[in-house]
Amino acid sequence: MGTLTQRGLNRRSLLAATGAAAVGLTFTACGQKPAAPTGAEEAKLNFYNWDTYIGDTTLADFKTATGVDVNMSLFATNDELFAKLKAGNPGFDVIVPSNEFVTRMGQAGLLEVLDHSKIPNLKNVDQAFMNPEYDPGRKYSMPYTWLVLGIGYRKSKVKGVPDSWKYLFDSNQYAGKIALLSESADLIRLSAKYKGHSVNNIPPEMVAEIEAMLIKQKPFIKAFHDDNGQDMLASGEVDLVLEYNGDIAQLMKEDADVDFVIPKEGSLINSDTLCIPKGAPRPDNAHKFINYLLDAQAGAAISKTILYPTPNAAAKALMPEDYKNNPVIFPPPEVMAKCEYGAFEGAEKASQYEEVMTRVRAA
Amino acid sequence: MEQSWKQAKAVFAGALGPPLFWLVLFFLVPLAIVWAYSFGQNDGLTDIAITGTWANYARAIEPLYLKIFIKSVWVAAITTGLCLVIGFPVALAITFASEKTKTWLLLLIMLPFWTNLLIRTYALIAVLRTEGYVNMGLEWLWNGMGGLAPLLGLAPIGEFQPLELLHNNFAVILGLIYVHLPFMVLPLYSALDRLDKSLLEASLDLGAGHMRTLFKVVVPLALPGIASGVLITFIPALGAYLTPDLLGGPDSQMIANVIERQFKRANDWPFGAAMSFLLMYLTFIAIALQAVLSRKKPEAK
């Protein structure tokens, strides 16, 4: 239980802010060429992960179990991961892209097809996660965690439960006390959800409407945050914040006045996955490592540290009650039924959504 | 015996070679690639086709982005102006301090560089936020006064309203001044320190007041120092990225933030490259202006 109360930093906050500075954290083993083709692979592995997104002893345990030395380096955003691999794999064996980027990287030919026969722990994964739209048949990716966006709020400052996106996107009721995540695509997709549309295939005229709505809402927004919304909520800077459930669940452990709701219109689900990038120098070790992370014991140890929802049914069964039955970490099925994955809709879309938010900020 | 470099070509080439090679390989070549990207377009998800198009530049000077450029120049100009106003007296004070104090004062000016910019910016957040140190201090004073008011027969002064110090343009400019002040003070100091003090004595002896001496003698003599201080404050302030991102509000984006998003979220490197180069051209103009200013022989009037 001690680990549950400890404050895990979220996986993106500090690194996201440093942007390019994060490059400095990249380790030196990058660019190593594959070992001699004959014989077994050398006992090494390069793992490219989010910050604070692995169990305290997971890498050491894996070394004890297999003798393979894992060298972990960190990235802050999917865009950073994509940018790094776009020009050719610098030597990573296992990476952790989110759902939309699995499609994108798969389409761009940056991912290796997984050999399911080398991942027997696949059986531990909840069936609901086995055939997602972003990667049919789990050809390229294994689910690692999932997250859902919602509203984190301070109970004493908010009337009732702010169970609609209206309070964030289309109302001055909490003027100056709102912080939104600075992810253009997420904001536009959730606004579409608020207007009763799916998060995908948003027609251009609705994007224009959303732009007008957000420009009108801008004076009431305190800031766009880089996934450190829970800190702004904790410090009393804002009372409502667009954040991931895992981040707010961490804060709720130490601040009883904070709660989290997924608005009634539904929301966006994200899933972080384990993939092997094209040209990985040690694919055998990579498969071994992915299999190890999907192990029930290892998975539970990771979840205890990072407190994100796990798609690993066997690992979840080993977790304490206050994780398994936490409605913030695992929202009820009727709520989840209204949530969707954001699909990858082409490179043009990302650029277009970015320009919409640039206009909103400049307005 | 002094030798012209022409007589020692081998030595000269040997000394120049490695840094030149370094400069070309790690600065000019990458820069040229980015420059080439600015005339290209995305080809699929991972490739950029250099087509020689001017479309990226055309898009970069659309009113939307032009407005952001102008805003960034404006923010950088205010920052530089305030740095000059604050930094000049500081540099002057250091110049006239005793040798021993001087060393300590210069050390104090440079001390912040020992801490990473990101950490210093986070520290500013802790100072400025609603429940930050400034507001906590003010609240303490306010409540103290509130306690005194009834004793003096005054009406109660009501509840403390915290100041909005963070997540707005004020916070961005404050943060930029805080970060860039040393860049202004150091060149000013080096210009003022070289100044011939006897000229000041002459000016004062001949009846000019302190202010008049300052503006008619010190400032003109320090002009090259002022120009280089202004330049090395203005250029990084113009390209500021971290400060508006962390301290700014919903409308505090500067051009570097837009460029960063092109390279990351928007995955539109050609457009980002075009904007970077426009920013660089602005910088070149600023450097050219400085060169023109410093070529004018400074003379006391």
DSSP labels, A166-235: HHHHS--TTTT-EEEE--HHHHHHHHHHHTT--SSS--HHHHHHHHHHHHHHGGGEEEEESS-HHHHHHT
* The total number of structural domains that make up chain B: 2
Count interface pairs A-B at CB distance under 8 A: 98
Question: Taking the alpha carbons of B82, B249, B132, B113 in that order, is the dihedral positive or negative?
Answer: negative
Residue B56 to residues A51, A174, B268, B271: CA-CA distances in angstroms? Answer: 35, 40, 10, 5
Token pair, residue A309, equals 């929802």
Q: How far apart are CA B52 and CA A21, in angstroms?
A: 32
- In a mutagenesis test of the B interface, which of A355, A359, A360 is the best target, namely the one with the most B β-carbons within 10 Å? A355
Contacts of B147 (CB under 8 A, 6+ apart): none
CA distance, residue B260 to nearest chain A CA (Å): 8
Q: Please indicate, yes or no, if residue B20 is contained in any of the structural domains.
A: no
* Residue whose pair of structure tokens reads 């909840």 in the numeric block: A126
Model pLDDT, residue A350? 86
Model pLDDT, residue B296? 65
Q: Are residues B276 and B204 in the same domain?
A: yes
Q: Are residues B105 and B234 in the same domain?
A: yes
Q: Measured between beta carbons, which residues in chain B are less than 8 angstroms from residue A235?
A: 129-131
Mean pLDDT of B219-247: 91
Neighbours of A128 (CB within 10 A): 13
Interface membership of A60 toward B (CB under 8 Å): no
B151 versus B143: the higher-pLDDT residue is B143
Q: Are residues B151 and B236 in the same domain?
A: no
Q: How far apart are CA B184 and CA B173, in angstroms?
A: 15
Q: How far apart are CA A319 and CA B286, in angstroms?
A: 61
Q: Are residues B214 and B122 in the same domain?
A: yes
CB-based burial label for A333 (10 Å; 0-12, 13-18, 19+): exposed
Asked which of B164, B180, B207 is the last residue of a domain, the reply is B164
Q: Please indicate, yes or no, if residue B44 is contained in any of the structural domains.
A: no
Q: Measured between beta carbons, which residues in chain A are less than 8 angstroms from residue B68?
A: 358, 362
Q: Please indicate, yes or no, if residue B6 is contained in any of the structural domains.
A: no
> Given an 8 Å threshold on Cβ–Cβ distance, is A358 in contact with B242?
no
Residue of B nearest to A220 (CA): B250
> What is chain B's mean pLDDT, rounded?
87
Enclosing domain of residue B141 = 132-164
Let me know: does A200 contact A213? Beta carbons within 8 Å: no
CA distance, residue A87 to nearest chain B CA (Å): 7
Model pLDDT, residue A5? 36
Model pLDDT, residue A34? 42
> Given an 8 Å threshold on Cβ–Cβ distance, is B118 in contact with A351?
no
Helix B269-295 and helix B255-263, axial crossing angle in degrees, nearest 10: 140
Q: Residue A134 belongs to what H/E stretch?
A: none
> DSSP alpha helices (H): ranges in chain B?
9-23, 29-37, 55-60, 63-96, 99-110, 117-128, 133-151, 169-193, 197-205, 210-213, 219-221, 223-238, 242-247, 255-263, 269-295
Let me know: does B38 contact B277? Beta carbons within 8 Å: yes
> Given an 8 Å threshold on Cβ–Cβ distance, is B45 in contact with A347?
yes
Q: Are residues B114 and B169 in the same domain?
A: yes
Residue of B nearest to A80 (CA): B264
Neighbours of A45 (CB within 10 A): 27
Q: Please indicate, yes or no, if residue B120 is contained in any of the structural domains.
A: yes
Share of chain B above pLDDT 70, in %: 95
Q: Please indicate, yes or no, if residue B76 is contained in any of the structural domains.
A: yes
Q: Are residues B86 and B227 in the same domain?
A: yes
Q: Which of B59, B260, B262, B45 is nearest to A347 (CA)?
A: B45
Mean pLDDT of B271-299: 82
CA distance, residue B157 to nearest chain A CA (Å): 23
Q: Are residues B121 and B269 in the same domain?
A: yes
Q: Are residues B196 and B282 in the same domain?
A: yes
Let me know: does A286 contact A42? Beta carbons within 8 Å: no
Model pLDDT, residue A199? 94
Q: Are residues B151 and B286 in the same domain?
A: no
Model pLDDT, residue A10? 52
Token pair, residue A138, equals 């789990």
Model pLDDT, residue A68? 93
Task: Give me the interface pTM, i.e. the ipTM.
Answer: 0.80
The pLDDT tens digits of the residues spanning B49-59 come to 888 899 999 99
Let me know: does B298 contact B196? Beta carbons within 8 Å: no
Residue of A nearest to B130 (CA): A237
Q: Are residues B274 and B177 in the same domain?
A: yes
Q: How far apart are CA B249 and CA B246, in angstroms?
A: 9
| HSE-CB of B130 using CA atoms within 13 angstroms | 15
Residue of B nearest to A217 (CA): B250
DSSP tag of A32: P
Model pLDDT, residue A346? 84
Q: Measured between beta carbons, which residues in chain A are less than 8 angstroms from residue B131?
A: 235-237
Low-confidence ranges of chain A (pLDDT < 50): 1-9, 12-38
Model pLDDT, residue A12? 47
Token pair, residue A122, equals 């696949």
Contacts of A7 (CB under 8 A, 6+ apart): A250, A253, A254
Model pLDDT, residue B6? 65
Q: Are residues B78 and B148 in the same domain?
A: no
What phi and psi values does residue B40 have, to the nearest 5 degrees?
-125, -175
Let me know: does A145 contact A310? Beta carbons within 8 Å: yes
Asked which of B141, B164, B187 is the last residue of a domain, the reply is B164
DSSP states along A305-327: HH----SBHHHHHTS-HHHHT-T
> Given an 8 Å threshold on Cβ–Cβ distance, is B130 in contact with A235?
yes
Let me know: does A278 contact A111? Beta carbons within 8 Å: yes
The pLDDT tens digits of the residues spanning B114-123 come to 899 999 999 9
Strands A340-341 and A258-261: unpaired
> Given an 8 Å threshold on Cβ–Cβ distance, is B251 in contact with A235?
no
C-alpha torsion angle, residues B207, B213, B215, B216 (rounded to 10): 70
Question: Which candidate from A20, A87, A354 shows the least CB-CB separation from B261?
Answer: A354
Which has the minimum average pLDDT: A244-253, B6-15, B165-174, B251-260? Answer: B6-15
Mean pLDDT of B239-261: 92
Q: Measured between beta carbons, which residues in chain B are less than 8 angstroms from residue A222?
A: 167, 249-250
Q: Please indicate, yes or no, if residue B258 is contained in any of the structural domains.
A: yes
B60 versus B3: the higher-pLDDT residue is B60
CA distance, residue B67 to nearest chain A CA (Å): 8
Model pLDDT, residue B4? 64
Q: How far apart are CA A40 and CA A49, in angstroms?
A: 25
Let me know: does A193 contact A199? Beta carbons within 8 Å: yes
CA distance, residue A165 to nearest chain B CA (Å): 18
Strands B47-50 and B40-43: antiparallel
Asked which of B118, B149, B164 is the last residue of a domain, the reply is B164
Q: Are residues B291 and B146 in the same domain?
A: no
Q: Which of residues 89-128 of A touch B (CB under 8 A)?
A: 104, 107-110
Confidence class for position B204, pLDDT limits 50, 70, 90:
confident
CA distance, residue B72 to nearest chain A CA (Å): 11
Q: What CATH number did the domain enclosing B269 receive?
A: 1.10.3720.10
3 state DSSP class of A270: strand
DSSP tag of B155: P
Model pLDDT, residue B212? 85
CA distance, residue B202 to nearest chain A CA (Å): 52
Question: Which candidate from A184, A185, A361 shows the least CB-CB separation from B250?
Answer: A361
pLDDT at B3 over 70: no
Q: Please indicate, yes or no, if residue B270 is contained in any of the structural domains.
A: yes
